[in-house]
Amino acid sequence: RIRLSGVSHPDSGLLANSEIEGYVNSQDLDSLVREWFLVKARPGQRPNVLLHVAEDLPQSLPALFIAADLAERAGVRERQAARDLIVRSVLHAG
C-alpha cells in the first residue's frame, strides 16, 4: 500500500537507516496509521515515517517523483542522488 520514494526507494542509491518515505492512497491512510501505530511528530522533531498522501497512485512512481522528494532534503548526498536520478531519467527517455 506504500510506494517507496526518496531515501527509501532502491533507485536513490542511499540507505534509509531507520526512516521510511513513500506515497499512500488517501483511502489507505487511516488503516496504515492504525495498523502501524503511527503518531504525528512533535514540532521540531524529525519524523521517521514520511507519507505523502495522494488520491490516485501509479503502480510505480516516476523517477522524477523520487528525485523531487530527495531534493527536498537538506543533505548533500540526497541532493546528489536527486541529480543522478534526473540525469538517468533524461538519458533513459532520450
Compute the C-alpha angle 8/79/91, nearest 5°: 90
What is the average pLDDT score of the chain? Answer: 91
Diameter of the chain measured on Cα atoms = 44
Give the span between the Cα atoms of 89 and 77, in whole angstroms.
18
- Give the C-alpha distances (Å, rounded to integers) separating 39 from 11, 45, 64: 28, 12, 28
Residue 89 pLDDT: 86
Residue 71 pLDDT: 94
Q: DSSP letter for 40, please.
A: P
In the block, residue with C-alpha cell 542522488: 81
47-83, pLDDT tens digit by residue? 999 999 999 998 889 999 999 999 998 889 999 999 9
Identify the band that residue 94 occupies on the pLDDT scale cut at 50, 70 and 90. Answer: low
Query: pTM for the complete prediction?
Result: 0.85
